[in-house]
Amino acid sequence: MPRSPKNTDKPPSRKPKPVNGPGGTTDTAGRQFGQPTPSPDPTVFSVDHPNDDPLYKLVNNTLLQPIPAPRTPNPIMTLADVLGSSTEQAIQKAGQIVFHSVSDTGSVNGPASQSLVADKMVADFADEQGADRPSFLYHLGDVVYSFGEAKYYYDQFYEPYRSYPGPILAAAGNHDGQVYSTDTAASLDAFLRNFVSAQPVKTPESGGLVRTAMTQPGVYFTFDVPFVTIIGLYSNVLEDPGVISSEGNKNSRVDDQQLPFLQTALTHAKAANKPVILVTHHPPFTAGSVHGGSPNMLAEIDKVCQKVGVWPHAHLSGHAHNYQRFTRTVNSFEIPYLVCGDGGHGLSPLQLKGKLIRVPYQVSKQVTFENYNDKDYGYLRVVVGAQQLRIEFHVATPGPATKAPVDVVTVDIASHKMVAS
Q: In CATH, what number is assigned to the domain containing residue 31?
A: 3.60.21.10
Query: Confidence band (pLDDT; 50, 70, 90) for 19?
Result: very low
Confidence of residue 250 (pLDDT cuts 50, 70, 90): very high
pLDDT of residue 37: 86
pLDDT interval class at 16 (50, 70, 90): very low
Residue type present at position 367:
V
**Each residue of 385-395: pLDDT tens digit?**
999 999 999 99
Q: Has residue 289 got a pLDDT over 90?
A: no
Asked whether the predicted pLDDT for residue 311 surpasses 70, the reply is yes
More confident position, 291 or 353:
291
Least confident of 133-137, 159-163, 352-356: 352-356
Domain-located, residue 20: no
Give 153-181 pLDDT, tens digit per residue.
999 999 999 999 999 999 999 999 999 99
What pLDDT score was predicted for residue 30?
Answer: 87
Instruction: Tell me the CA distances in angstroms from 337 to 235, 294, 420, one per residue in order.
Output: 16, 13, 17
- Taking 60 as the threshold, does the pLDDT of residue 1 lie above it? no
Rounded distance between C-alpha atoms, residue 326 and residue 259, angstroms: 24
Above 60 in pLDDT, residue 285? yes
- Does a structural domain hold residue 22? no
| Residue 212 in domain | yes
Residue 353 has a pLDDT of: 72
With H, G, I as helix, E, B as strand and everything else as coil, classify residue 274.
coil
DSSP states of 365-398 as a string? SSEEEEEEE-SS-EEEEEEEESSEEEEEEEESTT
- Counted domains in the chain: 1
pLDDT at 354: 76
Over residues 139-150, the mean pLDDT reads 98
In the predicted model, what is the mean pLDDT of residues 130-136? Answer: 97
What does the buried/exposed string (b/e) look like for 319-331 if buried means 16 or more CB atoms within 10 Å of the residue's CB? bbbbbbbbbbeee
**Dihedral angle, C-alpha 377, 46, 43, 52, nearest 10 °:** -50
The sign one gets for the Cα dihedral 50, 52, 54, 59 is positive
Residue 47 has a pLDDT of 96
Mean pLDDT score of the chain, rounded to an integer?
Answer: 92
285, 367 Cβ separation under 8 angstroms: yes
Expressed as residue numbers, the domain containing 80 is 27-419
Contact between 208 and 15 under an 8 Å Cβ cutoff? The reply is yes
Whether residue 15 is contained in a domain is answered as no
Residue-level pLDDT at 20: 29
| Residue 2, pLDDT above cutoff 60 | no
Has residue 13 been placed in a domain? Answer: no
Average pLDDT over residues 217-245: 98
Q: What is the pLDDT of residues 61-94, one digit of tens each?
A: 999 999 999 999 999 999 999 999 999 999 999 9
Among residues of the chain, what percentage have pLDDT more than 70?
Answer: 93
Beta bridge partners of 324: 339, 372
Min mean pLDDT across 20-24, 154-158, 257-261, 344-348 is at 20-24
Identify any residues that bridge with 227 across adjacent strands, giving them in sequence order: none
Residue 101 lies in a domain: yes
Residue 18 lies in a domain: no
From CA 281, how far away is CA 252, in angstroms rounded?
Answer: 20
Looking at residue 273, its pLDDT comes to 96
pLDDT score at 57: 96
- Strands, DSSP E only, in 120-206? 137-139, 168-170
Q: Looking at residue 290, what is its pLDDT? A: 84
- How far is the C-alpha of 395 from the C-alpha of 157, rounded, in Å? 20
Is the per-residue pLDDT at 14 higher than 70? Answer: no
For residue 6, being part of any structural domain is answered with no
pLDDT bin (cut points 50, 70, 90) of residue 7 is: very low
Residues 6+ positions from 271 with CB-CB distance below 8 Å:
none
Beta strands across the sheet bearing 96-102:
168-170, 137-139, 96-102, 378-385, 388-395, 407-412, 417-419
